[in-house]
Amino acid sequence: MKSLKTNNKLFVKPGTKVNLKDWKPSAQKVKSKESTVKELDQIMNRISKLQTMLYAENKRSLLIVLQGIDTAGKDGTIRHVMGALNPQSCRVESFKVPSTEELSHDYLWRVHRVTPSKGEIVIFNRSHYEDVLEARVHNIFQKSFWSMRYQQICDFERYLTQNDIEIIKFFLHISKDEQKKRLEERMKEPTKQWKISEND
């Protein structure tokens, strides 16, 4: 099958340090809606075929991690792009505030228990990174604490890949102005108001 073109400007090599200030959300423009829809159809057809092969082989699995600030488009990405996937061997796991049971275990317990089985694709809507981001952004713990968690998460991901779970990570990057605009739209749209919390 002919490989689809990829935009190398959107990829980050493993181990590379990233500063979001160097990545302008508005830098990537689509040519037209029609060409984008056509390309998306091609991609979705390819995704569907690859999923069938993954499921039939039943030796490896795929973990897709979606991260992004509120309103970045995680739900929309799952709905539109991942719509090509057969739900028989694909599921979405969302990470909200930890439950009492989850808090009674180590912080990676709730993540590990929902990783994909052989032949399966799992999409994380948010992920194990939340347990570092909150602590760092709000300065809840000292640097030694979240540095230790960085290492634990790297070790955890290495363990998964060594056990035939391929991990693909996407960070949906939007500007603060775009986020403000989308939050205001949510407040006006009755069907989206359930997504708004006091923290927004």
**pTM (2 d.p.):** 0.78
Distance CA 20, CA 169 (A): 15
pLDDT digits (tens, 9 = 90+) for 1-17: 344 445 566 778 877 88
Q: How many Å is the Cα radius of gyration of the chain?
A: 18
**Cα–Cα distance, 84 to 42 (Å, whole number):** 11
- Longest Cα–Cα distance of the chain, Å, equals 50
Domain positions in the chain are: 35-126+164-195
Structure tokens at 62: 């795929």
Q: What is the pLDDT of residues 72-100, one digit of tens each?
A: 778 888 887 778 889 899 999 998 888 89
With contact defined as beta carbons under 8 Å apart, do 36 and 30 qualify?
yes
Please name the fold of domain 35-126+164-195: Rossmann fold (3.40.50)
Please determine, for residue 27, whether its predicted confidence score (pLDDT) is greater than 80.
Answer: no
- What would the two tokens of residue 200 be? 């927004």
Distance CA(59)–CA(164), nearest Å, equals 7
Pinpoint the alpha helices (H) of the chain.
33-57, 74-80, 100-103, 109-112, 130-137, 143-162, 176-188
What is the mean pLDDT of the segment spanning 65-70?
85
